[in-house]
Structures are given as structure tokens and as C-alpha cells.
Homo-oligomer: A and B are copies of this chain.
Amino acid sequence: MKLEVVTIGTELLLGQILDTNAVDLGRELAAAGVEIVRRTSVADRPEMIRAVVAEALDRTGFVITTGGLGPTRDDMTKKEVAAIFNKPLVLNAVVLQSLEERFRRLGRTMPAVNRTQAEVPAGATVLPNPRGTAPGLWVEADGRVVVMLPGVPSEMRGLLAEEVFPRLVVRGGTAGIVVRSRTIRTTGIAESALAERVGEIEDEIAPLTLAYLPSVDGVDLRVTAWRLREADAERRLGTAAAQLRERAGEHVYGEEKTDLAAAILDLLRARTVRLAVAESCTGGLLGARITAVPGSSDVFVGGVVAYDDKVKRELLGVSQTLLERHGAVSEEVVSAMVAGAQQRFGVDAALAVTGIAGPGGGTKEKPVGTVWLAARSGQETRVVKRVFPGDRAEVRARSAQAVLDLLRRLIGKISS
């Protein structure tokens, strides 16, 4: 089946927040074979919300909205959707009771503003939201459906999984038909160089489509089967993915949402090797990436954020002579940092990063973006210099990804 998504919130148009709900909805619906044909974002303006939802409903007959269900006055989705369906808002006793109970459990009296959250369009199905105060609402008439979900991401995801999907399955029509993608993740190769290696594969894999998705983590190759029978989609995706993997070769580090940090942890876990890090310009970002992976604690021991040179000396044993002679951003210092981390933490594998993330601190010889990376495994060390494009955040993110990739290539005996 097909539907449209409308995300509501002035903050989305003013660029004040990232629309993570769009990502979650897109991923979950595609996995269920539901195609989002269009996604529209509008501000908290009643006339605009009404126009956009009504147009989407006329085009596609099925609309999911997020946002505008909270207790404050800028939350106006319910009223506009009720108007589209020519229904009044009525106080729902069950919702009111569960709201009051929720506040009682938290030991608080319910603020008066929350009472409006118990109002629903007449005839709407209430989708209980145990994670927050705003329930979801399913309004349906004459074969047209608007599903309203709250804007808080965890609440939206919970309602989608627990209340919306079961109802979509019952509606049928999607049984056996899927929209499905496979993603091959590469790093350490530019988009156009990768395109040359992959070559003119599009005709071979049709009707599947191929997209190149560059980011600070590398270039993902995403192949998509649109509304095919599940078995057919899977077979075609398997063939295409195998071809892409072969052509992209040693630059491939995983598939789907595989994080390179998670891949490295698996690699080390299989060898019962433990890991430590020494970070300067990334300032903790590398450790944060590694520990973002659940279960990382059985491989990752810890790290030193050696922002000040004193910390490089005292906690990592980098000599004052090296720092003075070569500067903190140098092959010599990153080598000493990685050896120091390995020894200090008593581990077999270690990573180190030192560089100039900017915006200040660049020189002609060492411009902003200059980063020295080191990976060590046992007695082997690999050190590379990179000059990354982008701003401070980008240089730091690219550094973390590249040093993880350096360890992958060191262990896999792949050139860097």
C-alpha cells in the first residue's frame, strides 16, 4: 500500500530540529512494504495543516501525521483533522482517566492544560500511548484514513509498532508485497571512484534501483526493490548485493546499518582481544562511537582524552622532546599515543587520533583538517595522515570513522 506522511511543527521549517520521525517512519513503513510516496512538513499553522493533510488525503487516501498533539497551544493537529472529516472534538473519558492516573503515579496533580489532550475527533479510535500523555488517533471515514501520532520520537515509534502496524496488516493489500532495500557500506573511497569500479550495473539489476549515498562515514550503495513479491525482491536483492560487494571489494565494511565500530568490536571479540583509545582532536567522540554499541564493554576497556599536551605526557607517556620537536599533530606523537594507550590499558589493540579540527589552529604546513591516525594490534602499528574537508564536526566524525577503518585494514591485511 501507499501513503503520505505529514510532519507538523514550526521548528521543522525553521530548521530548529532534525526530523528524526521522518527517518523512523520511513524505515519502519518500508520494512512493512508500505511506500511513502511523499512527505510534507508544515508549520504549526491551522490553515496550512488543514490544507496539506486534505490534499494528501485527496491524492493518496491514507495519511500519517506526527506532531501537534501535545498539551500546549501550538498543538493543533487534532482540531484541523477533525474539521477535514467534519467531526466535532469531544472529551474522551477513558483518555482523561488514563491521563489523571499517569500524573497520580508521578505524584503530581494534572495541570489543566493537559485536559485538552483528552479531546478527540468524534468516532476516532484512540491509540493508547503508555510512554506519554498524548494518545495517537486513528480517524477513518469513507475509506479515507488519517492517523495522528505524537511528535516525541520514542512515543511515535512505540505507537507505530504497537498500534499502527497491526491495523495496517488487518487492512491487508500489503500481504506479500514489499518495498525493500539492501545497503552495502563502503569507506575509504570517493563516490566517483566507486562509481567507476561499480560500472554500469543499473541495467543488469533493473527493475531494482541503485543509489550512491555519500556521508562522513563513506559511501553507501543502496539497492531497492519497489513493491515486488517478497521472495522475488529477496532473490533479486541478494544477487545485486553480491555483485556490488564484489565490485566494491576491500572498501566494503558491512551491510545495512552496520556501524564500523560495531564491526570492529565483533572482529576483536572473535579474537578475544581488548581495545583502548587515546584521543586528542576527537575529544571523546571515538570512545562515544565505540560505546554507543550495546555490549561494547566486553571488548572496550577505556580511553584517555588527551586534549592538553600535559595529559599526553602524563597519562600516555608521550615525551616532551617528541612534542616539542614534531608538534602534537605528527606521525611521531600519534605513534607514541597509540603505544602509550596499548601499554597503559594493558590491551592488545589500540587507536589514537591527533589533529586540527578547526576552525582555528591551522598553519600552512598543517592546515585545518590535518589528522594523524594510528592503529595498533599486537606488535604491528599502522599510521596514516589525512587532510579531511569540512567543518569541525565533520573533521572529527571523519577522523573517528577513518581510524576505525585503519584498524579494520590492519587486522584484515588490506592496504590503507
Contacts and interface: CB of A to CB of B under 8 A. Distances in A.
Interface string A122-143: 0000000001010000000000
Interface string A20-55: 101111111110000011111111100010001000
Given A111-B195, A292-B283, A304 B301 contact: no
Contact of A26 (B15, B154, B277, B393): B15
B36 A13 contact: yes
Interface in A273-291: 277, 279, 281-291
A390 interface: yes
Contact of A17 (B23, B52, B210): B23
Contact of A283 (B23, B193, B214, B291): B291
Contact of A73 (B15, B179, B210, B311): B210
A191 B70 contact: yes
B19 A18 contact: yes
A113 interface: yes
Contacts of A355: none
A266 interface: no
A11 interface: yes
A297 B283 CA distance: 10
Name the prevailing secondary structure of the A interface residues: mixed
A308 B297 contact: yes
A16 to B, nearest CB: 7
A77 interface: no
A65 to B, nearest CB: 14
A308 B113 CA distance: 46
Contacts of A390: 154
Interface residues of A, number: 106
Nearest to A289: B284
Contacts of A195: 71-72, 111, 113
A168 interface: no
A16 B26 contact: yes
Contacts of A62: none
Given A14-B181, A213-B11, A282 B288 contact: yes
Contacts of A310: 301
Nearest to A198: B72
A294 interface: yes
A39 B12 contact: yes
B301 A290 contact: no
A354 B84 CA distance: 50
B11 A22 contact: no
A295 B392 CA distance: 11
Interface in A179-221: 179, 181, 183, 191-193, 195-196, 202, 209-215, 220
23 contacts: A15-B27, A15-B28, A16-B26, A17-B213, A17-B215, A19-B19, A38-B52, A39-B41, A40-B41, A71-B192, A71-B195, A72-B195, A73-B202, A74-B210, A154-B390, A154-B391, A277-B284, A284-B284, A284-B289, A284-B303, A297-B307, A300-B307, A302-B308
Shortest 8 CB-CB contacts between residues of A and residues of B: A284-B287, A283-B291, A15-B26, A15-B27, A284-B284, A302-B311, A284-B288, A303-B305
Given A15-B24, A113-B192, 15 more contacts: A9-B211, A10-B222, A11-B211, A13-B30, A18-B18, A38-B48, A72-B211, A154-B394, A282-B291, A283-B292, A284-B290, A291-B305, A296-B307, A302-B315, A315-B315
